[in-house]
Amino acid sequence: MQVLTIKDILRATNGEIISKTGNSAGLEITGITIDSREVSEGVLFVPLKGERADGHDFVQSALEHGASAALTEKDMERVKGTLIRVKDTRRAMGEIARYYKKKYFVPSVAITGSVGKTTTKDMVYAVLSAHYNTLKTPNNFNNDIGVPLTIYGLKEEHEMAVIEMGMNHFGEIEYLAGIALPDAAIITNIGMSHIENLGSQEGIFRAKMEITKRFNEKNTLFVNGDDAFLKTVTGEAYRVVKYGLDSSNDVYAKDIENKGRSGVEFTVVYDGGEFRASVTQPGVHNVYNALAAVCAGLHFGVSVEECIKGLRECEYTSQRLEIIEHNGIEIINDCYNSSPDSIRAALKVLKGSSKSHKIAILGDVLEMGGFAEKAHFNVGTDAAKSGIDMLITVGKNAAYIAKGAKEAGFGNVREYASTEDAAADMAKLVNSGDSVLVKASHGMHFEKITGALKTL
């Protein structure tokens, strides 16, 4: 992080110093943390109220252990050190990040969508990094805490930033975009993730489009032009570039060659020519993510050769179609998150495995609300036709996957109520020579199943 002063913090948050040591306004802040155990000289401690603990309980300890200052939204007496009162510490994180981004400006790309955000982020980062010193959102830091923490990571040497944005309610993407102030944005697709809170896919579409609320003629939006909702986007105040597999898009892919677990090769066609590219991430659906990365790269002046190199050498976030070989078992570890569309994509990857016996272990897709039964049932119907040899379902919603598969004529189904029960039976179900897809929403803790498979 580059330097901010206490005066900057006050300006950003409209805060007030309620306790100080010496000339607090001139203090320099060189780091911001929400963890009191990570404080040191120059660090601003931001206490957040969580489900299990309130960071305000650790303010004095943070100051005693070296923090240069701390925020508070509560009245706090007898605190020794520099303490700044703000209306809301969580909001203050965003206000400081917005101020910091404006002060130390670098061009940035924001990424959102129902499926593929993180993989697209990895690819965009790889392409831009082939030309620029680039910062990207670490892990899954894509909410109102993670986005500010990402922005604080901008250093003097950075020339670009790639920022992932997630949401499950209206207004969240608009808020995050107002913090990150992106120059360009990517919307990967409109699926059914978080449909419980947003009411319909139309609602999800509106929520994702919030990323353009501050856009003008200087901004560009890249969208999946094959998506039923995104193909309708026409920018009035900003530029729109569409990508996909259909040749009607501004940038499209042709001559796709699926190489199974080795990835995908394809030809990119764009205004000005075409070139052959490849990604090592399995699944034809990743061509869409790669096209988004190419669009961003070309837009920001990355050469064709650098785009090719970036895609080829991209390193991916773990637990997303991660292929693990263990004692003759191929584990397709995709248990960080899930949606009906991403399950279907993962089943295609499983189908392409060279292993002779294919097992799909599928768990609940969460936050589906009243759509859960039908969506899971339809996944089961598709799973029955996907070429698998065994289906294992885990959870209340996933029981509808089992039902859909059975009604479609697929008989080899095992059902479990809990992840722990399924993990305990892995030795009975999986053998050397099997390919096993492990996929569910993060809240199902399917890493326990992956862990059990690794012990076989």
Tens digit of pLDDT at every position of the chain (456 positions): 999 999 999 999 999 999 877 667 678 999 999 999 999 999 999 999 988 899 999 999 999 999 999 999 998 878 888 999 999 999 999 999 999 999 999 999 999 999 899 999 999 999 999 999 999 999 889 999 999 999 999 999 999 999 999 998 999 999 999 999 999 999 999 988 778 788 899 999 999 999 999 999 999 999 999 999 999 999 779 999 999 999 999 999 999 999 988 899 999 999 989 999 999 999 999 999 999 999 999 999 999 999 999 999 999 987 678 899 999 999 999 988 899 999 999 999 999 999 999 999 999 999 888 999 999 999 999 999 999 999 999 999 999 999 999 999 999 999 999 999 999 999 999 999 999 999 999 999 999 999 999 999
Nearest CA among 96, 74, 103 for reference residue 13: 96
Please give the order of strands across the beta sheet that includes 251-258.
134-136, 160-164, 108-112, 184-187, 220-224, 239-244, 251-258, 264-270, 273-279
The model's pTM is 0.88
The helix (H) or strand (E) run that includes residue 309 is helix 304-312
- Rounded Cα distance between 162 and 206, Å, is 22
Q: What angle do CA 237, 147, 306 make, to 5 degrees?
A: 70
Q: How far is CA 102 from the centre of its chain?
A: 24
Hey, which residues does 264 pair with through a beta bridge?
258, 279
- Rounded Cα distance between 282 and 345, Å, is 10
Nearest CA among 189, 185, 240 for reference residue 217: 240
Q: What angle do CA 245, 247, 252 make, to 5 degrees?
A: 50
- Rounded Cα distance between 149 and 96, Å, is 10
Residue in the block written with tokens 């419980």: 196
Tokens of 206: 């509106």
Residue 394 is classified by DSSP as E
pLDDT, residue 168, reads: 85
E strands, 247-389, are 251-258, 264-270, 273-279, 322-326, 329-333, 357-363
Tokens of 35: 């963890």
Residue type, 83: L
Which residues make Cβ contacts (< 8 Å) with residue 21, sequence separation at least 6?
A: 80, 81, 82
- Rounded Cα distance between 241 and 306, Å, is 20
